[in-house]
Amino acid sequence: MPPVRVLTVEGATVTFGGRRVLDGVSFSVEAGEFVGLIGANGAGKTTLFRVVLGLLKPSAGTVRHLGRRVGYVPQKVAIEPDAPLRARDLVALGLDGERFGVRLPSRSRRERVDRMLEAVGAAAFADARVGTLSGGEQQRVLIAHALVGQPSLLVMDEPLANLDIKSGHEIVELVARLAVEQDLAVLLSAHEMNAILPHMDRVVYLAEGRAVSGTTGEVIRSDVLSELYRYPVKVLDVDGTVVVVGGHDVKVR
């Protein structure tokens, strides 16, 4: 059976004030796959996600979804400590397709929320106000919020940016495990790929508005990235850690 593509992006182009932030970006995500979207600050990762989520219409190109629904963990969420929103309330909102409103939770709704909080390791702070939780704790609750509606694709925008190495590791392990358990494809952005390297089935590397995608072995190479950057860069392996360095004195093989 051919693999099911839950997401296909073809030729996505976005221009802001005359500047092409995305220039014909194409890639796809297959069912159950863990795909890393790698790019430096300002490379266009969040912009690409907004296109994928239908929040931003590209000036050219198409986005096709095939699957149940898309869960989204945004890069920035600001919730006041005083906001009367408990972790379990935020997760329950994910059941309602993002619609706000007062609804008495039925027993099955409550069970699903409890199961999800448990699955992401957030049961201990289920009744705490979201705005009082630490960054790592909020991240878990946001993942539960995104997953409780049982999407086939989870889009996560830099979920590791504000976490320490250990918490980042835990979140990556958690998402990779949930992906297998829930038949979920994951598209996760990061500016640093090492934390997700062991779990990435494929990588989409974004630079200069363009993207190359493939397995890490196909993409994370000096020649491929130099061509993408249109600038000599070198991929080094330092004791199993990938380092991408650039400069005119770099000799590309």
Closest distance between Mg ion and the C-beta of residue 156, in Å?
11
Closest distance between ligand ATP and the C-beta of residue 48, in Å?
7
Q: Choose the binding region for ligand ATP from 14-22, 89-97, 148-156, 245-253 (rule: CB under 6 A).
A: 14-22
Determine if 191 is a binding residue for ligand ATP (CB under 6 A).
yes
Q: Pick from 36, 39, 61, 149: which binds ligand ATP (CB under 6 A)?
A: 39
Judged by DSSP in three states, 93 sits in helix
Closest distance between ligand ATP and the C-beta of residue 114, in Å?
33
Closest distance between ligand ATP and the C-beta of residue 14, in Å?
8
Q: Pick from 42, 54, 198, 246: which binds ligand ATP (CB under 6 A)?
A: 42
Determine if 196 is a binding residue for ligand ATP (CB under 6 A).
no
d(CA 176, CA 198): 10
- In a 13 Å sphere around the CA of 149, the CA atoms on its Cβ side amount to 23
Bridge-based pairing state of the strands 202-207 and 60-65: unpaired
Determine if 193 is a binding residue for ligand ATP (CB under 6 A).
no
Determine if 145 is a binding residue for ligand ATP (CB under 6 A).
no
Give the C-alpha distances (Å, rounded to integers) separating 72 from 112, 189, 199, 209, 233: 18, 12, 19, 22, 32
Determine if 138 is a binding residue for Mg ion (CB under 5 A).
no
Determine if 51 is a binding residue for ligand ATP (CB under 6 A).
no
Closest distance between ligand ATP and the C-beta of residue 39, in Å?
5
Q: Name the one residue in this structure whose structure tokens are 């919020």.
A: 145
Tell me the β-bridge partners of 214: 203
Chain CA centroid to CA 205, Å? 13
Q: What letter does residue 6 receive in the DSSP assignment?
A: E
Closest distance between ligand ATP and the C-beta of residue 20, in Å?
10
Determine if 47 is a binding residue for Mg ion (CB under 5 A).
no
Give the C-alpha distances (Å, rounded to integers) separating 174 from 182, 186, 245: 12, 12, 30
Write the DSSP string, 23-81. Answer: EEEEEEEETT-EEEEE--TTSSHHHHHHHHTTSS--SEEEEEE-SS-EEEE-S-----T
What are 99's two structure tokens?
A: 């619609």
Q: Pick from 6, 21, 34, 46: which binds Mg ion (CB under 5 A)?
A: 46
Determine if 43 is a binding residue for ligand ATP (CB under 6 A).
yes
Q: Pick from 27, 45, 90, 155: which binds ligand ATP (CB under 6 A)?
A: 45
Determine if 44 is a binding residue for ligand ATP (CB under 6 A).
yes
Question: Under the rule (CB under 6 A), what is the footprint of ligand ATP?
Answer: 16-17, 21, 39, 41-47, 75, 158, 191
Q: State the residues that interact with Mg ion by CB under 5 A.
A: 45-46, 75
